[in-house]
Chains A and B, each alone.
Chain A
Amino acid sequence: NAGVTQTPKFQVLKTGQSMTLQCAQDMNHNSMYWYRQDPGMGLRLIYYSASEGTTDKGEVPNGYNVSRLNKREFSLRLESAAPSQTSVYFCASSVPGQNSPLHFGNGTRLTVT
């Protein structure tokens, strides 16, 4: 039972390089999210997608772009990586609704040097 799958697990980039973080869920959820987790900061929402074909900015969207490729997949792209984007990135999914729990992937640890 895969749930939410993120790739890669680890990545090191140099400043200015680009990359795409992949996320796929097999739970038929409409809503998908990208968070970043930084020490002492908790989780902060980067972007979310309420349904296939829609995306919206979260709390910290600058420097990122997203694509909701289909119902299963939601990718996060860094066009020109900066050291401030060193973080652990989590993808999550849920059914719509205030009380719906989020289902998280195991994260991508990104270091930008």
Chain B
Amino acid sequence: GNSVTQMEGPVTLSEEAFLTINCTYTATGYPSLFWYVQYPGEGLQLLLKATKADDKGSNKGFEATYRKETTSFHLEKGSVQVSDSAVYFCALGAQGGSEKLVFGKGTKLTVNP
């Protein structure tokens, strides 16, 4: 079945450091890929998405490229801020609607000043 594997956390960085959170997937067909972010005490919110191979999703300085050849969708940011501290979830949306969304286990990021 469809699954998502993302790097174990927690990840701790200093402000202005480079961030990479790895995400790989297993799926049949051509799924859409998403990154969601959860700030403390809140629900998840969509950070970015990509719907086909080689698409790059971007938002708030974060980027992720849909790589079909490596079945990956790694999240990157060139210079993190304290306000980026949150839990990040990679998710895969297979054909059939949003009810088929499969989430990774989440990676907690802490950015220190």
Contact = CB atoms under 8 A, between A and B. Distances in A.
B41 interface: yes
A99 B99 contact: no
Interface residues of B, number: 26
A96 B49 contact: no
Contact of B104 (A42, A50, A96, A99): A42
B105 interface: yes
A107 B46 contact: no
Interface in B15-67: 31-32, 34, 36, 41-46, 49, 51
B38 to A, nearest CB: 8
Contact of B99 (A33, A43, A101): A33
A56 B97 CA distance: 13
Contacts of A42: 89, 103-106
A99 B32 contact: yes
Interface string A42-79: 11110010100000101000000000000000000000
Contacts of B104: 42
Q: Among B94, B104, B105, which residue has the most Cβ atoms of chain A within 10 A?
A: B105
Given A42-B105, A99-B51, A104 B97 contact: no
A39 to B, nearest CB: 9
Given A40-B105, A42-B103, A42-B104, A100 B43 contact: no
Interface of B: 31-32, 34, 36, 41-46, 49, 51, 89, 93-101, 103-106
The 5 closest A-B pairs by CB, nearest first: A104-B43, A101-B46, A42-B105, A42-B103, A43-B103
